[in-house]
Amino acid sequence: MNVNYAHLFHAGNFADVHKHLVLTALLMRLSEKPSPWFYLDTHAGEGLYTLAGQPPPGRSEFESGAEPIFHASSDNPIVRAYQFLLNRFNPEGRLIRYPGSPLVAASLARPTDRLVATECVPERARALRKHLESWSGDVHCRDGYEALGAFLPPREQRGVILIDPPYESTREAEHLLRALPRSLARFPRGIYVVWHPWVNPAFVSGLRRRLKTLGPVSFLDWQTTRRQGLRGSGLAVFNLPYGLATSLKPVWESLKDMYATTLGPVEFVQTEPTRMGAATRIRKTVP
């Protein structure tokens, strides 16, 4: 288990925006039906991050992540729901705090919905408990992959499982690929969202080849033209609800111009499971 990774230094970066927009869209979709949903966050982090803890202005990751969307005007319902969430934690009108995935989910949960978050670092789990205090949600300080066995299948029979590991260890993908098939077998109807970085193309293609053998998986990517560091953010989603990729297309469309200045040219690629159709590309290049 690798615990060196501190999300504080990356909180609110473009990968967080990508992941949390998709999470928002998924939970909004599940909330369209009155029956309760379940949310499991296996690598939950601290839940709320004070962005002043990041490097000095000009070098902070949120400046090319949550900041542009926080200040943008949009009439897209998914973007607006996410902006509403950012505003809720930043009533001063300045982006000072960034809500992590457990708080994104908690903010969208109705009284009957149920949240479980696991975080293996005790002080981070304690911080998360504190940040979730005024919401309902159970926090467990334990291994997230074990939690998949412990909490699935949920009694609600529908829900989202976010698996967002730090990938600091070379064995992370092995842990993931060992735990996922068992989870899919226990709860085949669950919507599993697995985040992975775009750093090394060989790693990504190897991981994806193996993920594809496990079930109907869609890939949602936010790619940049950066040559160093985090080049893109990848999400592998098992059981993406019907029509959700279509609902997300205008979101990505609206983000292209928003991020051209801070991130450079960005491209969004959505690949649905082969039995459902071919890849959809939305491309934006700036001179």
Ligand X SMILES: C[S@@+](CC[C@H](N)C(=O)[O-])C[C@H]1O[C@@H](n2cnc3c(N)ncnc32)[C@H](O)[C@@H]1O
Positions marked catalytic: 164
Question: Measured from the CB atom, is 16 or 113 closer to ligand X?
Answer: 16
Least distance between ligand X and beta carbon 57 (Å): 22
Binding region for ligand X (CB under 6 A) out of 2-10, 130-138, 235-243, 254-262: 2-10
Question: Measured from the CB atom, is 131 or 272 closer to ligand X?
Answer: 131
Contacts of 88 (CB under 8 A, 6+ apart): 99, 107
Least distance between ligand X and beta carbon 212 (Å): 23
Query: Where on the phi/psi map is residue 63: left (φ > 0), alpha (ψ -120 to 50), or beta?
Result: alpha
> Which listed residue (97, 124, 129, 158) binds ligand X by CB under 6 A?
124
Question: Measured from the CB atom, is 139 or 272 closer to ligand X?
Answer: 139
Binding region for ligand X (CB under 6 A) out of 55-63, 73-81, 138-146, 255-263: 138-146
Q: What is the CA radius of gyration of the chain?
A: 18
Phi, psi of 214 (to 5 degrees): -90, -20
Distance CA 128, CA 134 (A): 11
DSSP classification of residue 177: H
Least distance between ligand X and beta carbon 85 (Å): 12
Q: Which two tokens stand for residue 104?
A: 């994104």
Least distance between ligand X and beta carbon 180 (Å): 14
Least distance between ligand X and beta carbon 56 (Å): 23
Question: Measured from the CB atom, is 44 or 69 closer to ligand X?
Answer: 44
Phi, psi of 236 (to 5 degrees): -105, 120
Question: Measured from the CB atom, is 28 or 282 closer to ligand X?
Answer: 28
Phi, psi of 70 (to 5 degrees): -60, -35
DSSP classification of residue 61: G
> Which listed residue (109, 120, 220, 255) binds ligand X by CB under 6 A?
120
For 130-146, give the DSSP string. HHTTTS--EEE-S-HHH
Distance CA 230, CA 5 (A): 15
Residues 11-70 that bind ligand X (CB under 6 A): 16, 19, 41, 43-45
**Residue labelled with tokens 């001179």:** 287
> Which listed residue (60, 101, 239, 271) binds ligand X by CB under 6 A?
101
Burial of 278 (0-12, 13-18, 19+ CB in 10 A): exposed
Residue 118 is a binding residue for ligand X (CB under 6 A): yes
> Which listed residue (166, 197, 265, 273) binds ligand X by CB under 6 A?
166
Q: Which residues bind ligand X (CB under 6 A)?
A: 1, 3, 5, 7, 16, 19, 41, 43-45, 100-101, 118-121, 124, 143-145, 164-166
